[in-house]
Amino acid sequence: MSDPTPAAPRNGHAPVPAAAISKPVNKKQINLPWRKAVEIAMNSLKIRFWRSLITAGGIFLSIAFLCFSLATLWLQQKPTDPDLMADYHQAVYRQIWLVVMSVLVCITGITNSMLMSVAERFREIGTMKCLGALDSLIVRLFLIEAMFMGVVSSFGGWVLGVLTVALVRWATLGWAVGVGAVTPLIIGKLFFWCIGSGAFLTVIAALLPSVRAAQMPPAAALRSDV
């Protein structure tokens, strides 16, 4: 059984208790309010404008494809002639398959864009951790950026999708029949689905890589060559 009595002083210095040696040292870490985090995230997007634009472009095109597919499905008109019902159902099935494919393209495109957006900033993450940033702060900054890019890019994709549907129907069916069927209700439903799915998928796609990147040791993040 070890003697709890502290050792005699050496070189005139008092001995350090064993409990103090084993107790971890509290490091001063940085945690900012949401308002400041939003400001930092917006400044980061401005500094990385062109790279952020490339990431937003992938989200933009994915949502535009989804918007066009959904609008085409919802605007399918059921024929009154029973002989045409078989063709109508085949067209609906093809359009549903196209919507499913557009959703998969949307998920893949957004996930890939956000993975690259996080991976190329490992050194920046390492620098922030060396300066004392909490893991939760780093994740929060990435999620704010992802939410902003998701909403703005999805809005642009929604506009492009609606305009494309209107132009295609105008060219094939005319203004009164083709464009007239694109009612405010259809446009509102497209807005809800496009903005909601774009923002949700962008945040989900950014969550896992940002959490893993925030948990990296600072030295490993600074050595990254991505």
Compute the C-alpha angle 58/62/65, nearest 5°: 145
98 lies in some domain:
yes
* Domain count across the chain: 1
Burial of 16 (0-12, 13-18, 19+ CB in 10 A): exposed
Residue 30 lies in a domain: no
pTM, to two decimals: 0.75
Domain presence at residue 152: yes
Instruction: Answer yes or no: is 45 within a domain.
Output: yes
pLDDT score at 28: 53
Asked if the structure places residue 35 within a domain, the reply is: no
Domain that holds residue 117: 40-76+86-221
* 3-state class (DSSP) for residue 71: helix
pLDDT, tens digit, 9 for 90 and up, residues 119-146: 777 888 888 888 888 888 888 888 998 8
SS3 184: helix
Per-residue pLDDT of 98-121, as tens digits, reads: 888 877 877 787 777 777 777 777
Q: What is the pLDDT of residue 225?
A: 64
pLDDT tens digits, 143-157: 998 899 889 999 999
